[in-house]
Amino acid sequence: MSNAKSPKEAALDRRILELVPPALREVTRAMLEDGEIKALQDYANVVSIRRLGFNDHGPVHMRKVVKNALKFANLLHAAAIPMSLESEEIGTFEDSVFALVAAGLLHDIGMCVTRQDHERYGAELARPIVDRYLEQYVPADIHRQVILRSLVMECILGHMAMIRIHSLEAGLILIADGCDMEKGRARIPMLLNTEARVGDIHKYSSSAVERITIGPGSVKPISIEIEMSQSVGFFQVEEVLFPKLSVSPARSYIELSAGVIGEEPRRYL
């Protein structure tokens, strides 16, 4: 493993820095360049792809989750819908974005330990890293540090929809994770594993998803549109994304449609 970034990682870094508020660019850039975070992401991917034969759970995936979550947050902000910290009058929009960036970059690092309960191991591994960046972002403000640390932990622990989450911020990470299903995510596992095995439906269905478009909805603030080359891609929508969407505190703000290219899309929300 190397500290060098792939072109895809570098491109995602640039996009993430465009999406964060100006006040957060310095701390976001520092997290994107952090050697420990990079090492954790890389090893999580080794365990996921090479050891277990799963899809990407590494630096590209985690950056895509950050990008998706920031798109969602900015669309809600443009629609004057406050994040949980804002509506509860205990934080700012920038505070919520800090939590989304930190949680997105760290949510799958528990794969370094094991797949089962990886979100719990990830929260434990993330704690000292989050504390390090809280000292940079809100130095000497113990109240905001406690709030933001707790929020990041909720986002990480809740990204598999195995425990109930309550904040809008955690709900966005949950959906942002589910939205990383485009065909590139399964490319390496498909190349490495050529023999049929249980669980291949995740790789083949992901390979059928051509494009996911996140933008403003016609009625609701957020629209998620999924285009696929084959109907097997509906597995990703109905068995991966929709279960996460259905329990997310952000569900009421989202429109979801999916379809095979050239056919009438199905409207889910």
Q: What is the pLDDT of residues 170-183, one digit of tens each?
A: 999 999 999 998 87
- Poorest-confidence range of 50-54, 94-98, 123-127, 260-264? 50-54
Tell me, yes or no, whether 44 lies in a domain: yes
Q: Which helix (H) or strand (E) holds 189?
A: helix 187-192
For the cut 90, the answer to whether the pLDDT of residue 197 exceeds it is no
Tell me, yes or no, whether 166 lies in a domain: yes
Cα 168 from Cα 205, distance rounded (Å):
29
Tell me, yes or no, whether 32 lies in a domain: yes
For the cut 80, the answer to whether the pLDDT of residue 201 exceeds it is no
3-state secondary structure of 230: coil
Q: Distance of CA 13 to CAs 9, 95, 108, Å?
A: 6, 20, 18
Q: Where does 107-183 have alpha helices with state H?
A: 118-137, 142-157, 168-178
pLDDT digits (tens, 9 = 90+) for 31-84: 999 999 999 999 999 999 999 988 889 999 999 999 999 999 999 999 999 999
3-state secondary structure of 213: strand
pLDDT the model gives residue 200: 58
Tell me the residue range of the domain where 256 lies: 7-267
Query: Cβ of 50: how many Cβ atoms within 10 Å?
Result: 13
* Residue that is written with structure tokens 């640390």 in the block: 149
What one-character DSSP code corresponds to residue 91?
A: -
Going by C-beta distance under 8 Å and a sequence separation of 6 or more, which residues neighbour residue 241?
A: 175, 178, 179, 181, 224, 226, 256
Given a contact cutoff of 8 angstroms between Cβ atoms, the answer to whether 250 and 172 are in contact is yes
Tell me, yes or no, whether 1 lies in a domain: no
For the cut 50, the answer to whether the pLDDT of residue 192 exceeds it is no
Tell me, yes or no, whether 229 lies in a domain: yes
pLDDT the model gives residue 205: 76
Q: Which helix (H) or strand (E) holds 215?
A: strand 209-215
For the cut 50, the answer to whether the pLDDT of residue 27 exceeds it is yes
Percent helix, strand and coil across the chain, each rounded to 5? 60, 10, 30
Both tokens of 1, joined, read 């493993």
Given a contact cutoff of 8 angstroms between Cβ atoms, the answer to whether 237 and 225 are in contact is no
| Total of domains in the chain | 1
Q: Are strands 209-215 and 254-260 parallel, antiparallel or unpaired?
A: unpaired
Tell me, yes or no, whether 57 lies in a domain: yes
pLDDT grade for 207, boundaries at 50, 70 and 90: confident
Q: Which residues pair with residue 225 across a beta bridge?
A: 213, 257
Tell me, yes or no, whether 2 lies in a domain: no
Tell me, yes or no, whether 65 lies in a domain: yes
